[in-house]
Structure 1
Amino acid sequence: MNQNARTPQIAQLACSLFKKFASKKSTAKQPAAPDTAPPAKILPTPVRRLAYGAASKSLKLASESLRLSIIGLELLSDITPALRMARRNRLPHSMAAGVLGAEVATWAAIWPSLLPRPWWVTALNVSIGQAVGHFFAASAAFGLKNALRAAGKRPQDHLTPRLKRNAHWVMGTITLAAMANSVRNQGIQANLVSKSYDRGPLQAAIGVSAGTLGYGVLLLIGEAVQFTVSRLSRQIGRAVPMLVAWPLAVAALIYVAFALSDRVVLRRFIRSASVRAQRLNQSVFPNSMMPWEPERSGSPWSYEPWTAVGAQGRRFLSSGPRAHDIAEIMEFARAREPIRIYAGLTSGRSLRGQARRIMSEMDRTGAFHRDTIIIQMPAGSGWINEWSAAAPEFLTKGNCATVTMQYSILPSAISYVVDKQAPLEAAQLMTSAIRHRLDSMPEDNRPKLYLAGESLGAFAHLDSYDSLEELLAICDGAVFTGPPSMTKFMSKLSPDPGSLERVPVIDGGRHVRFAAAPAHTRHDPFGRSYANSWQRPRVLIAQHASDPIVWWSSSLIYKRPGWMHESTPSTLYADTFHALGWAPIISFWQIGLDQINSLNVPGGHGHNYYEETFWYWDSVLGSQSRVPLTPRLAQRAEKWVRDHPS
């Protein structure tokens, strides 16, 4: 019997039971009362009617609530992975193909990507994955039916109910097995990135459940969109043929959606992010104190005031090893005070003005009289990786100057969207000004120039050059870590035949070497020696296999990249699964979400380039390094950086 038909009967039965109960209570035999007892009071008829009416309404309300709860539970079971394969109670038959597509997409959504996930990332993957699977399957079924009808054939279902039922049970079983395997894979993935694993079956179940609810919300939105398009196409169909009306309705709805998302959502989001970033840029981090060394910007002797360098500038200038730290850690008799120069982004001053301030600070501090000058390009907010900044200071005995300038206050992703030319312009202005000054100096008394940057900072340097030859002509070496996938310079490099995409070999390792671990400075990912010796200028590009910033690209939407299925020898030092699954759109979404979690892993994994940078700088500096880096010295220097967080 239909649930809707059962509900009124439940209400009638409940009312009759209540009346019988009330009748029995009123006619029940009472004990004999003494002659002096007052007569029993009988409620007036209107009051009795009011009481019966209130009771009846309460029961009807409870019955309706029960009915709605049952409907809600049935709908939830209709969209829940595995359960929906057993039976569907409420969703229309027209959604059958979409539900099957969602079930298959669930398998891909919970398959591992680059990093272990918290439950809420699993939920986002499941909701979007199921929606994508539903859309593609429903669209394919709709197109197939229309094609058959256009050919004069009636779509027929040749599957018997028993075959359907068995197929559904098999799919449901696969889903349950995939969920169990997902929990196991998350543990393996956590071990690969040296992260403690504390997410068991409960968190996985919460993630899938929350994602399923999200899928239900997206279904409702989809139905609303479909209803709107149908209504709009009927209205337009009064003036034009229906064959034209439907595409016009879809185009109109897409235009309105994009206009609203741009003006209402995106612009407000960027405005809000800018306000927060401005507030953060004006703040002072707890460990940031004004430096008292004349060799640092922001000091009382500096042309660049402490208040002008921004929060990240204050962090950079107050941190890092001093001369006595370098001498103690690296076991020198004495060391020089390293120079750190930083020009902040202030209102009323252009990037060109910042570059002029950099040159003034370099003249003031005597930077052009040091043996080594390093141009460090920051990430979007002005952040500099302290590991990469401190490493050459330890290795050169402090005989170096690190210079940088802030080009944005926004996080890297937003900064790139808002103004992707700003980091390029900043890098070009600073590099050209310093290179011009160096070229005017006697060659035998000229400091060596090195470039460095992480994430958007690496992009700023690399995409400032049209070719590798141009980059090699401008500097004496470079260390770039975690360059984002949109860095066009990477496509200008020609890997040797047989190279792996994750750690390609360029010209036998003559000038450029990619590294997922320090060992790749000495051998290729197959463990073989490079065909050519590493000549100067040396360029090192570090990119972890688990770094989603490096590997996330728009081509993931429609194409499986080579790095997902290439061989993974042990000497590749890959910290991901050997074979990663790929699905259109879903993999793009998964790796995109991995970026949120890319910093929540230990150093040497994800987007964290920490201890390894000491070895990268040691290999690139060569003769500029004043001490051979040994594991013991590296551990001492690394411990100092860890113990002095910026």
Structure 2
Amino acid sequence: MVQGLLSGFALAFGYGVGVLLVIAYLFFELPAPRRKLEFYAKRVTVVLVAIIFVVCLWHMTYWQNSIRELMDMPPLQSAYPIRTAVLAVVFGVLLITVGRTFVSFCVWMSEKLNWFLPRRVAVSLGVVIVGLGTLFVVNGVVARFLLKIADAASLRADELIEEGWEKPADPMACGSSQSLVSWQSIGRQGKKFLLEGPTEQGIEEFWDGSGVSPIRVYVGMRSRSTPEERARLALQELKRVNAFDRSVLIVATPTGTGWLDPGAVDTVEYLHRGDTAIVCTQYSYMPSWLTILVDPTRSVRSARCLFDEIYDYWKTLPKDNRPRLYLHGLSLGSLGSEVSANLYTIFEDPIQGAVWSGPPFPSSQWSAVVQARNEDSPAWLPRYEDGALLRFTSQENMLDTGKRWGSIRSVYIQYASDPMVFFSPDLWRRKPEWLVGERGPDVSPHLTWYPLVTFLQVAFDLPMATSVPIGYGHNYSPKSYLDAWIAVTRPDDWSEEHRHRLLELMNGPVDEPDDGNG
């Protein structure tokens, strides 16, 4: 289905480019081509398109399996090229019909204006008028209608409560009867975060010794009406549950749906025997890729409000008697989290570091670092300066470079096959750096950049970014998080045996022990 829609878009775009070139040729009143030349040009074009179409269908299954092999997925016997072709043609014709209708309106408007305006002026003004009218209808009516449907569906999903999800009985738990945060005001992902995860008993069993119950605080969108109010409520709840007595405090920014990856939060709680506190405020209930289209600044506002509230209180505590402070964010949460701690604000009293995963393409800080990376490093796995402050890692742990880490340690986790990271609005006209030179281990060697086509391919991958196995695309594995948290937080009494046992517990893949200390 997705491949058919994508191919239909490509067909329609290609047809549209050809029509625009013809319109431009006629607009400038250049000499008309000879009819014989026009006759043969059309037929040659049709034959070339047909050949390319058949060749692509012929290689379709092979190309799909080249990706599946890299992602440890079983090969397909068939990618259903005939069904895909039929869907592509039908959808492409539908889009072309819409486009031709638009052109017809432009011609009609231009003819009306040509009664009292020069021809070229009438044509230009006609296109502008119809274009603006169409844009108004699409944005003001169609897009708003679709967003309203998506918003309503996301809200219903956020309100869903699975069987067995009951208000916490522990009075010290967030959402309990004694909590400042109402259980009813917490969305589905927030309830899941509060109810699931390591318990004191589970941590004691893992360590064969002492452990405590981790502290988790989550403030939902319905808990308070503004990001500032939600941040203040989160701080009050942290104080109530004595979170500032813990050794590790993590200010986390969730994805667009309000989700926090268990692979990220559970691992760090096990690492530190539960002596942790994680605080989070919800800013949306729509998927990250959809939230980016609607309002990508939501996560930034929410993350800044929460960090400022927590940090302003944290820095008043004695430095030798307060938790180490870290940041965390996945996907759209990474976009907000990475800029929440203003450098000039924390310069005098710095935090201890951050773990960010799947930074989306609009992320300004991430983009600036990738552009400023060392010249001998690829875009999908950059090396930044000497790595004392910031490092990147992927499926394999690349954090132990043998060089000095600073007192503030920050890590970006990104997979080369993650479209949320490597999509770019200028893909339609420029070959991306991640397709130049050495490729990521999970990018097909047969992927070739074509104008417009590659843009459409990666754009269509965005909503499908989590439909691949864990450890690829936008599905980040516990192993990647674990390696990052070990490097950033430097837990005590940690060994490779603990690492393997925890990965088995988290159902993540276990690799060979690292030569270094991570």
Match of 1:379 in 2: 255
Match of 1:236 in 2: 113
Match of 1:503 in 2: 381
In the alignment, residue 592 of structure 1 is paired with which amino acid? Answer: A
CA contact (8 A) 1:618 1:629 kept: no
CA contact (8 A) 1:611 1:638 kept: yes
Match of 1:585 in 2: 452
CA distance, structure 1, for counterparts of residue 310 and residue 33 of structure 2: 75
Say which SS state the counterpart of residue 501 (structure 2) adopts.
Answer: helix
Q: 1:349 to 1:243 in 2, by over 3 A?
A: closer
Aligned pair 1:535/2:410, yes or no? Answer: no
Give RMSD over aligned pairs: 2.7
Q: Report 1:136-155 matches (<5 A).
A: 136-144=17-25, 150=30, 155=34
Which residue of the other structure, out of 144, 151, 155, is the alignment partner of 1:267?
A: 144
Aligned pair 1:620/2:488, yes or no? Answer: yes
CA contact (8 A) 1:374 1:401 kept: yes
Aligned pair 1:352/2:352, yes or no? Answer: no
Which residue of the other structure, out of 490, 505, 510, is the alignment partner of 1:637?
A: 505
In the alignment, residue 119 of structure 2 is paired with which amino acid? Answer: M
CA contact (8 A) 2:411 2:488 kept: yes
Q: 1:401 to 1:255 in 2, by over 3 A?
A: same
Unaligned runs of 5+ in 2: 510-518
Say which SS state the counterpart of residue 162 (structure 2) adopts.
Answer: coil
CA distance, structure 2, for counterparts of residue 171 and residue 261 of structure 1: 31
Offset at residue 477 of structure 1 (A): 1.5
**Could you report, residue by residue, the CA deviation over 1:461-519 in whole angstroms, capped at 9, with x for unpaired residues?**
11335669968964212111101000011233221122211111011221211111242
Which residue of the other structure, out of 179, 182, 193, is the alignment partner of 1:316?
A: 193
Offset at residue 633 of structure 1 (A): 1.7
Aligned pair 1:448/2:324, yes or no? Answer: yes
Aligned pair 1:299/2:176, yes or no? Answer: yes
Offset at residue 550 of structure 1 (A): 0.5
Which residue of the other structure, out of 423, 432, 439, is the alignment partner of 1:552?
A: 423
CA distance, structure 2, for counterparts of residue 145 and residue 510 of structure 1: 60
Q: 1:362 to 1:159 in 2, by over 3 A?
A: closer
Offset at residue 452 of structure 1 (A): 0.5
Say which SS state the counterpart of residue 403 (structure 1) adopts.
Answer: strand
Q: 1:418 to 1:182 in 2, by over 3 A?
A: closer
CA contact (8 A) 1:288 1:319 kept: no
Offset at residue 544 of structure 1 (A): 0.6
**Could you report, residue by residue, the CA deviation over 1:317-376 in whole angstroms, capped at 9, with x for unpaired residues?**
0100101111212x3312111101111112753222222221221112111111000111
In the alignment, residue 584 of structure 1 is paired with which amino acid? Answer: P
Which residue of the other structure, out of 124, 130, 135, is the alignment partner of 1:247?
A: 124
In the alignment, residue 461 of structure 1 is paired with which amino acid? Answer: S
Which residue of the other structure, out of 489, 493, 497, is the alignment partner of 2:365?
A: 489
CA distance, structure 1, for counterparts of residue 453 and residue 347 of structure 2: 37
CA contact (8 A) 1:506 1:512 kept: yes
Offset at residue 398 of structure 1 (A): 0.6
Q: 1:425 to 1:215 in 2, by over 3 A?
A: closer
Aligned pair 1:389/2:271, yes or no? Answer: no
Match of 1:335 in 2: 211
CA contact (8 A) 1:338 1:398 kept: yes
CA distance, structure 2, for counterparts of residue 358 and residue 167 of structure 1: 63
Offset at residue 617 of structure 1 (A): 1.2
**Could you report, residue by residue, the CA deviation over 1:22-52 in whole angstroms, capped at 9, with x for unpaired residues?**
xxxxxxxxxxxxxxxxxxxxxxxxxxxxxxx
Match of 1:24 in 2: none
Match of 2:243 in 1: 367
**Could you report, residue by residue, the CA deviation over 1:424-478 in whole angstroms, capped at 9, with x for unpaired residues?**
2221222122222222222221210111110111111113356699689642121
Offset at residue 177 of structure 1 (A): 2.7
Match of 2:296 in 1: 420
CA distance, structure 1, for counterparts of residue 201 and residue 43 of structure 2: 76
Match of 1:595 in 2: 462
Matched residue count: 505
Say which SS state the counterpart of residue 356 (structure 2) adopts.
Answer: strand
Q: Report 1:189-268 matches (<5 A).
A: 189-198=67-76, 200-201=78-79, 203-268=80-145
CA distance, structure 1, for counterparts of residue 103 and residue 45 of structure 2: 30
Q: 1:143 to 1:251 in 2, by over 3 A?
A: closer
Q: 1:467 to 1:580 in 2, by over 3 A?
A: farther
CA distance, structure 1, for counterparts of residue 22 and residue 151 of structure 2: 45
**Could you report, residue by residue, the CA deviation over 1:371-420 in whole angstroms, capped at 9, with x for unpaired residues?**
00011111122111111110111000011111111122333233334443
Say which SS state the counterpart of residue 382 (structure 2) adopts.
Answer: coil
CA contact (8 A) 1:295 1:338 kept: no
Q: 1:471 to 1:424 in 2, by over 3 A?
A: farther
Offset at residue 269 of structure 1 (A): 2.1
Which residue of the other structure, out of 463, 473, 476, is the alignment partner of 1:609?
A: 476
In the alignment, residue 635 of structure 1 is paired with which amino acid? Answer: L
Match of 1:512 in 2: 390
Offset at residue 629 of structure 1 (A): 4.3
CA contact (8 A) 2:247 2:275 kept: yes
CA distance, structure 2, for counterparts of residue 481 and residue 472 of structure 1: 27
CA distance, structure 2, for counterparts of residue 564 and residue 597 of structure 1: 20
**Could you report, residue by residue, the CA deviation over 1:514-543 in whole angstroms, capped at 9, with x for unpaired residues?**
111242112xxxxxx45x322221111011
CA distance, structure 2, for counterparts of residue 471 and residue 197 of structure 1: 52
Q: Larger radius of gyration, structure 1 or 2?
A: 1
CA contact (8 A) 2:216 2:278 kept: yes
CA contact (8 A) 2:427 2:454 kept: yes
CA contact (8 A) 2:253 2:329 kept: yes
CA distance, structure 2, for counterparts of residue 576 and residue 628 of structure 1: 33
Q: 1:502 to 1:638 in 2, by over 3 A?
A: same
CA distance, structure 2, for counterparts of residue 420 and residue 389 of structure 1: 24
Which residue of the other structure, out of 419, 436, 448, is the alignment partner of 1:565?
A: 436
Identical counterparts, % of pairs = 24
Offset at residue 625 of structure 1 (A): 4.3
**Could you report, residue by residue, the CA deviation over 1:298-321 in whole angstroms, capped at 9, with x for unpaired residues?**
123322121121211111101001
Say which SS state the counterpart of residue 168 (structure 2) adopts.
Answer: coil
Q: 1:154 to 1:286 in 2, by over 3 A?
A: same
In the alignment, residue 358 of structure 1 is paired with which amino acid? Answer: A
CA contact (8 A) 2:304 2:341 kept: no
Aligned pair 1:433/2:309, yes or no? Answer: yes
In the alignment, residue 416 of structure 2 is paired with which amino acid? Answer: A
Which residue of the other structure, out of 28, 34, 56, is the alignment partner of 1:178?
A: 56
CA distance, structure 2, for counterparts of residue 159 and residue 250 of structure 1: 26
Q: 1:153 to 1:634 in 2, by over 3 A?
A: same
CA distance, structure 2, for counterparts of residue 171 and residue 264 of structure 1: 36
Unaligned runs of 5+ in 1: 1-119, 523-528, 642-646
CA distance, structure 1, for counterparts of residue 394 and residue 14 of structure 2: 34
In the alignment, residue 602 of structure 1 is paired with which amino acid? Answer: P
CA contact (8 A) 2:250 2:326 kept: yes
Match of 1:130 in 2: 11
CA contact (8 A) 2:217 2:280 kept: yes
CA distance, structure 1, for counterparts of residue 199 and residue 3 of structure 2: 45
CA distance, structure 1, for counterparts of residue 422 and residue 345 of structure 2: 25
In the alignment, residue 343 of structure 1 is paired with which amino acid? Answer: V
**Could you report, residue by residue, the CA deviation over 1:125-178 in whole angstroms, capped at 9, with x for unpaired residues?**
11111111112233334545776x63x6854756997x9978866764454233
Q: Relative to structure 2, which stretch is displaced further, 392-401 or 179-188?
A: 179-188
**Could you report, residue by residue, the CA deviation over 1:47-66 in whole angstroms, capped at 9, with x for unpaired residues?**
xxxxxxxxxxxxxxxxxxxx
**Could you report, residue by residue, the CA deviation over 1:250-271 in whole angstroms, capped at 9, with x for unpaired residues?**
1111111111112211222222
